[in-house]
A and B are shown apart, each in its own frame.
Chain A
Amino acid sequence: MQLFPCPFCGPREESEFHYGGEAGNLRPDGGDVTAERWAGYLHMRDNPKGPGREIWVHLTCGEFFAMSRDSVNHKVSGSSTLGKSEHGA
């Protein structure tokens, strides 16, 4: 069992967490967004092999946060609370 660091609760078992998507995938704003841009936001992903920054939710405390993790060796290099500028409000 791998331990993930919740910024609010500390290290907890991986089964307490749920993956929420890639960090920085911001919702398009305004009225003139093309279908391609919406499809990009909804569906298209970088899906990086190696280091990446991800949004996770700790199901037991209900908080969303950002975690830096390597998708090949699964090493976690850190986690942080979400800033307003980083992922919407």
Chain B
Amino acid sequence: MTRHYSALSLFKEGVAGQTGWEKAWRSPDPKPRYDAIIIGGGGHGLATAYYLAKNHGVTNVALLEKGWIGGGNTGRNTTVVRSNYFYPESAAIYGLAHSLYKTLSKDLNYNVMFSARGILTLAHSEAGMETAAGNVNAIQVNGIDCEIFSIEDVRRVVPIYNFSPHARYPVYGGTWQPSGGTARHDAVAWGYARAASRLGVDIIQNCEITDFIIENGRCRGVVTSRGEIRAERTGMAVAGHSSVLAAKAGFRLPVNSYALQACVSEPVKPILDTVVISPDTGVYVSQSDKGELVIGGALDRIPSYGQRGNLPVLEAVIAGMLNMFPIFGQLKMMRQWAGIVDVVPDSSPIIGESPLPGLFLNCGWGTGGFKAIPAGGTLLAHLLATGSHHDISRPFDLDRFARGRLIDEAAGSGIAH
């Protein structure tokens, strides 16, 4: 059977009629007991499984997914990867993720198509340029590559922008993270799943958690649609459904679930080779490798678990996109969808042990979870393996809400959360 992906194995399988490929991951039946359980087969859960096995040698692990892997927010985001954050704590966590993304294809032996095509955050006023300069200073002090762009720089990178003097959102300049970019989101899920499975992790799909097994005040495992599964440590990475699981475990989280929409156009020839973010229109646009314009915007400000989104936000996003790029006025839109994101008051993630001992949290990424997948996995794996915080995850513990030490990225990051 062909296990390793390479040009040589591709050639050999081509000659052999593509008969030797093995399945990318195994689908075993769940065992009654594991060393660790991970709930949620999105990017964060799958990355946790992989790093538990790779970094800590813990391979007797079950990953439980109620649907199919990568079918939630991992397959619904706009694939942007960046680390230009304002606070040092955020720069550390997103910087870790970004640095792991750069070598992820090689680490996983799976092409996640990470493309460092640069990310441009526009400024639409003189005041916006002042804020941009302050942000760039903070980001540079955090050790992240970022620079201020003049209007001439913007013109050079995005010549198709609406530079008309009568534009509703005129450009004054912006900020530029050259190492930011995009990655293929399904490949991130599938690559982590394949690599984790090869290290011994059991990936179990169509397995919904119905309850937690709680004995002597500790989480000892889970009750699922496929029977009881026990482990001394359980991690959950379920994004918008975190509150639902927390209720089963007997605690509450500072999470509101909202729909975040995105849409794609029909595929067209290459015209936009970077990611453009406009805080004033609330829109971000990039072009996928298939040629589709991938367009995202702000949250639907209506609490929701319906993965659809409402029309007013979609209308505002399309209108904003057309203000930025009138050239796209004739484009046909192909698909629109929404993911349910877990929004926290300070727009920073929650990582750490939950109020139920033995149950560990990775949630609260809100609208920015995809870019953080390798870090979320690394840090939750560290917690599950050692029972204590990694230095990078400590500031993001749930206890920050009672202590008042919020990491308020809502105002500091490049786009509204």
Contacts of A39 in B (CB 8 A): 254, 401-402
Per-residue CB contact flags for chain B residues 291-319 toward chain A (1 = under 8 Å, else 0) read 00000000001111110001110000000
Q: Roughly how many angstroms separate A27 CA and B153 CA in the complex, as a whole number?
A: 51
> Which chain A residues numbered 7 to 39 have a C-beta less than 8 Å away from chain B?
13-15, 18-19, 35-36, 38-39
In this assembly, does A84 line the interface, its C-beta being within 8 Å of a C-beta of chain B?
A: no
Q: Roughly how many angstroms separate A74 CA and B257 CA in the complex, as a whole number?
A: 13
Smallest Cβ-Cβ distance to B402: which chain A residue: A39
> Which chain A residues numbered 50 to 74 have a C-beta less than 8 Å away from chain B?
50, 52, 54, 71-74
In contact, A45 and B305 (Cβ under 8 angstroms): no
Q: What class of interface size applies to chain B in its complex with A?
A: 20 to 34
- Min CB gap A13→B, angstroms: 8
Smallest Cβ-Cβ distance to B258: which chain A residue: A19
Per-residue CB contact flags for chain B residues 374-417 toward chain A (1 = under 8 Å, else 0) read 00000000000000000000000000011110000000000000
In this assembly, does B167 line the interface, its C-beta being within 8 Å of a C-beta of chain A?
A: no
In contact, B311 and A19 (Cβ under 8 angstroms): no
Partner of A47, one of B256, B301, B311, B312: B256
In contact, B403 and A35 (Cβ under 8 angstroms): yes
In contact, A73 and B402 (Cβ under 8 angstroms): no
Tell me the count of chain A residues lying within 8 A, CB to CB, of chain B: 27
Smallest Cβ-Cβ distance to B403: which chain A residue: A35
Partner of B243, one of A14, A45, A54: A45
In this assembly, does B334 line the interface, its C-beta being within 8 Å of a C-beta of chain A?
A: no
| Given A35-B402, A39-B401, A46-B252: A71 touches B310 (CB 8 Å cut-off) | no
In this assembly, does B10 line the interface, its C-beta being within 8 Å of a C-beta of chain A?
A: no
- Min CB gap A28→B, angstroms: 13
In contact, B301 and A18 (Cβ under 8 angstroms): yes
| Given A35-B403, A47-B255: A1 touches B306 (CB 8 Å cut-off) | no
Q: Roughly how many angstroms separate A40 CA and B305 CA in the complex, as a whole number?
A: 22
> Which chain B residues numbered 201 to 253 have a C-beta less than 8 Å away from chain A?
241, 243-244, 247, 252-253
Q: Roughly how many angstroms separate A30 CA and B244 CA in the complex, as a whole number?
A: 31
Contacts of A38 in B (CB 8 A): 402
Contacts of B302 in A (CB 8 A): 14, 19, 74
Q: Roughly how many angstroms separate A45 CA and B243 CA in the complex, as a whole number?
A: 8
| Given A15-B312, A49-B244: A36 touches B402 (CB 8 Å cut-off) | yes
- Min CB gap A66→B, angstroms: 14
Partner of B253, one of A15, A42, A44, A74: A44
In this assembly, does B345 line the interface, its C-beta being within 8 Å of a C-beta of chain A?
A: yes
- Min CB gap A43→B, angstroms: 4
Smallest Cβ-Cβ distance to A74: which chain B residue: B306
In contact, A43 and B306 (Cβ under 8 angstroms): no
In contact, A44 and B303 (Cβ under 8 angstroms): no
Smallest Cβ-Cβ distance to A18: which chain B residue: B301
Smallest Cβ-Cβ distance to A38: which chain B residue: B402
- Min CB gap B1→A, angstroms: 42
Contacts of B252 in A (CB 8 A): 40, 44-47
Q: Roughly how many angstroms separate A48 CA and B256 CA in the complex, as a whole number?
A: 9
In contact, A1 and B301 (Cβ under 8 angstroms): no
Smallest Cβ-Cβ distance to B252: which chain A residue: A44
Contacts of A49 in B (CB 8 A): 241, 243-244, 257, 305
Contacts of B243 in A (CB 8 A): 45-49
In contact, B301 and A19 (Cβ under 8 angstroms): yes
Q: Roughly how many angstroms separate A44 CA and B398 CA in the complex, as a whole number?
A: 11
Contacts of A36 in B (CB 8 A): 402
In contact, A47 and B310 (Cβ under 8 angstroms): no
Query: Could you list some 25 contacts between A and B, CB below 8 A?
Result: A1-B310, A13-B312, A19-B303, A35-B402, A39-B254, A39-B401, A39-B402, A42-B345, A44-B401, A45-B243, A45-B254, A45-B256, A46-B243, A46-B247, A46-B252, A47-B252, A47-B253, A47-B255, A47-B256, A48-B243, A50-B305, A52-B303, A54-B303, A73-B306, A74-B310
- Leading 10 A-B pairs by shortest Cβ distance: A47-B243, A43-B254, A39-B402, A44-B252, A39-B401, A43-B401, A15-B312, A49-B305, A35-B402, A72-B305
